[in-house]
């Protein structure tokens, strides 16, 4: 259930007191852009800012500037934030508030929680983007009400988040879920990680586009264009089939390991809808000889999942309740 819309003004302090808001700030740091938003008490976005990640310049400085701008915009609209959540890719030590290593945004041993707290003097939660997406799906999305599920965002790369009783499994070295480097075709094509035959070489949005170009396809086509061309371009069809087969194999391994109640696919590639989901479901069923396959469903939040997860982490850091269904999307999910 979506809570009723309340006033954007959340300051209930007496006159003269600093505002004590119940809104939160949420930032999702990606390889190309950083997306910031102010979430109201009701889970709706009040303001949003998107800036380039500036990975070649000062990415940490750019992120801190975005956080300060976001708070200033919130205060200018009479929305007093109670906390902030920042999520990044890479190896994120959520307990220590550190980003240990994130190659595509060039962060190494960044004490992000301390830096953002120094700047904003608010409670700060630091999280991993894919695990935060899992939190969002568990609270208000495709994993709501389930004891366990697996979320795979299919984007530039592929990570998985295993959610048990509402909480993502981080692993002993904050590195759980790197299924993009699960070998699906042993001895197959080389991956940037140094191995061969990894899942993301074949089935991430980025890997699919690179593979299509490498095999002689029309230069510059992205995964969306390749998906649209499968009926008329035999190479596009072949690359797409290999991707869905690879996903089926990987999901079979995850199913046999974890016995999840549901598998949720998100990220840009999942926007292909049934064109992706139907062959992946078939490949998963075919790879499981003796047991039934779990449901494979689209993410409820799509590419917004990590940012909603950051907002939920911010509410928890600020000691605010997170009601079941908080920030649930209004529109229907893709691919169903
Ligand atoms: Zn790899």
Residue 322 lies in a domain: no
On whether both 263 and 129 belong to a single domain, the answer is no
Residues 292 and 151 both lie in one domain: yes
Domains contained in the chain, number: 2
16 has pLDDT over 60: no
55 in any annotated domain: yes
Q: Are residues 123 and 75 part of one domain?
A: yes
Q: Would the pLDDT of 12 be above 90?
A: no
Between CA 130 and CA 136 the distance in angstroms is 10
Same domain for 46 and 104: yes
Residues 222 and 291 in one domain: yes
Tokens matching residue 93 = 């030590």
User: Residue 50 is part of which domain span?
Assistant: 23-134+304-317
CA of residue 200 to ligand 1 center, whole Å? 7
Cα 241 to ligand 1 centre (Å): 20
129 Cα: distance to centroid of ligand 1 (angstroms): 19
194 and 283, same domain (yes or no): yes
- Cα of 194 vs centre of ligand 1, distance in Å, is 6
Cα 183 to averaged position of ligand 1 atoms, centre (Å): 8
State in Å: Cα 102 to ligand 1 middle: 16
pLDDT for 55: 57
Determine the distance separating the centroid of ligand 1 and the alpha carbon of 190, expressed in angstroms: 8
Do residues 294 and 184 both lie within one domain? yes
In this structure, are 206 and 312 located in the same domain? no
Q: Is 85 in the same domain as 157?
A: no
What pLDDT band is residue 5 in, cutting at 50, 70 and 90? very low
- How remote is the CA of residue 272 from the centroid of ligand 1, in Å? 24
Residue list, CB under 5 A from ion ligand 1: 181, 191, 193, 195, 198
Location of structure tokens 């299509």: 212
Structural domain contains residue 334: no
164 and 257 housed in the same domain:
yes
User: How many whole angstroms separate alpha carbon 312 and alpha carbon 73?
Assistant: 20
pLDDT score, position 53? 85
Q: Is residue 325 part of a domain?
A: no
- Report the alpha-carbon distance of residue 267 to residue 259 in Å, rounded: 23
* Whether residue 116 is found in the same domain as residue 70: yes
pLDDT for the residue numbered 20: 54
Report the CATH number at residue 200.
3.30.420.40
**Is 296's pLDDT higher than 90?**
yes
In this structure, are 253 and 149 located in the same domain? yes
Instruction: Reply yes or no on whether the pLDDT at 332 is more than 70.
Output: no
- Residue 17 in any domain: the answer is no
Q: Which pLDDT band, with edges at 50, 70 and 90, does 29 fall under?
A: very high
Rounded distance, CA 288 to CA 281, Å?
Answer: 11
Question: Residue 331 burial (CB < 10 Å; 0-12/13-18/19+)?
Answer: exposed
Residue 240 falls within a domain, yes or no? yes
Convert 173-197 to b/e letters by CB count within 10 Å (16 or more is b): ebebbbbbbbbbbeebbebeeeeeb
Residue 257: which residues within 8 A CB-CB, separation 6 or more? none
pLDDT at residue 13 above 50? no
Query: pLDDT tens for residues 171-211?
Result: 999 999 889 999 999 999 999 889 999 999 999 999 999 99
Q: Determine the average pLDDT of the residues in 149-159.
A: 92
Q: Which of 293, 262, 319, 251 is nearest to 134 (CA)?
A: 262
β-strand pairing of 45-52 with 33-39: antiparallel
Q: How far apart are CA 270 and CA 267, in angstroms?
A: 6
In a domain, 100, yes or no: yes
Q: What is the pLDDT of residues 80-90, one digit of tens each?
A: 899 999 999 99
13 lies in a domain? no
């Amino acid at each position: 259930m979506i809570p009723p819309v309340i006033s954007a003004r959340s300051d209930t302090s007496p006159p003269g007191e600093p505002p004590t808001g119940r809104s939160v700030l949420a930032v999702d740091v990606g390889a190309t852009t950083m997306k910031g938003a102010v979430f109201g008490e009701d889970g709706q976005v009040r303001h949003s800012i998107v800036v380039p990640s500036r990975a070649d310049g000062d990415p940490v400085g750019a992120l801190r500037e975005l956080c300060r701008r976001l708070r200033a915009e919130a205060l200018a609209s009479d929305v007093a934030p109670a906390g902030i959540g920042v999520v990044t890719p890479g190896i994120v030590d959520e307990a220590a508030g550190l980003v240990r290593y994130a190659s595509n945004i060039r962060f190494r041993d960044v004490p992000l929680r301390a830096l953002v707290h120094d700047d904003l003097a608010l409670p700060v939660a630091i999280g991993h983007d894919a695990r935060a997406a899992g939190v969002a799906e568990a609270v208000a999305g495709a994993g709501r009400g389930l004891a366990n599920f697996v979320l795979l965002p299919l984007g530039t790369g592929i990570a998985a988040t295993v959610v048990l009783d509402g909480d993502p499994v981080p692993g002993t070295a904050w590195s759980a879920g790197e299924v993009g480097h699960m070998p699906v075709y042993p001895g197959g094509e080389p991956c940037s990680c140094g191995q061969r035959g990894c899942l993301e070489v074949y089935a991430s949005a980025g890997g699919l586009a690179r593979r299509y170009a490498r095999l002689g396809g029309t230069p510059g086509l992205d995964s969306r264009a390749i998906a649209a061309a499968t009926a008329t371009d035999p190479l596009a069809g072949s690359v797409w089939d290999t991707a869905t087969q690879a996903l089926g194999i990987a999901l079979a391994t995850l199913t046999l390991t974890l016995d999840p109640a549901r598998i949720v696919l998100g990220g840009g590639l999942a926007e292909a809808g049934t064109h992706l989901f139907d062959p992946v479901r078939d490949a998963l069923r075919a790879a499981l000889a003796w047991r039934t396959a779990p449901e494979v469903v689209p993410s409820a939040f799509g590419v917004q999942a990590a940012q909603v997860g950051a907002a939920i982490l911010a509410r928890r850091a600020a000691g605010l309740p997170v009601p079941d269904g908080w920030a649930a999307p209004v529109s229907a999910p893709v691919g169903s």
